[in-house]
């Protein structure tokens, strides 16, 4: 069964940067929709960024456009989330998710993702 393991979270000051990684194991070759979601304390889960590995198409939530970049390394079955100009409202648990062999229609409908990682915590302090 596919497993997703996130890493790279931590504490950073306002304006700082972090790069999250999501390593997929037992991912069969092909094109997939991969996404990052986050959930802050007392908030619902929010779609942050998504990528279709078949053609590198990307999608971003409005609150992170221009600051976050999602990318992939096919050779490593790893998806990254580069986060720049971080704000306190970016704090939360960040989850990697996958739709193997599916396109990214409605990329931020979380119920469309079949696999989830355990999450990595991001804390941005002022």
pLDDT per position as a tens digit, 75-107: 899 999 999 999 999 999 999 999 999 999 999
Neighbours of 34 (CB within 10 A): 27
Nearest C-alpha neighbor of 38 from the set 120, 98, 126: 120
Q: What is the pLDDT along the chain (126 residues), one digit of tens a residue?
A: 899 999 999 999 999 999 999 999 988 888 999 999 999 999 999 999 999 999 999 999 999 999 999 999 988 999 999 999 999 999 999 999 999 999 999 999 999 999 999 999 999 999
Q: Bridge partners of 92?
A: 122
């Amino acid at each position: 069964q596919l497993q997703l393991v996130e890493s790279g979270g931590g504490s950073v000051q306002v304006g700082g940067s972090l790069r999250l990684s999501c390593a997929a194991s037992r991912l069969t070759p092909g094109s997939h929709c991969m996404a990052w979601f986050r959930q802050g304390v007392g908030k619902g889960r929010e779609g942050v960024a998504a990528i279709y590995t078949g053609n590198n198409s990307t999608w971003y939530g409005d609150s992170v456009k221009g600051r976050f970049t999602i990318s992939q390394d096919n050779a490593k079955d790893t998806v990254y989330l580069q986060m720049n100009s971080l704000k306190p409202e970016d704090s939360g648990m960040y989850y990697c998710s996958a739709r193997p062999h599916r396109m990214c229609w409605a990329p931020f409908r979380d119920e469309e993702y079949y696999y989830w990682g355990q999450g990595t915590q991001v804390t941005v302090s002022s």
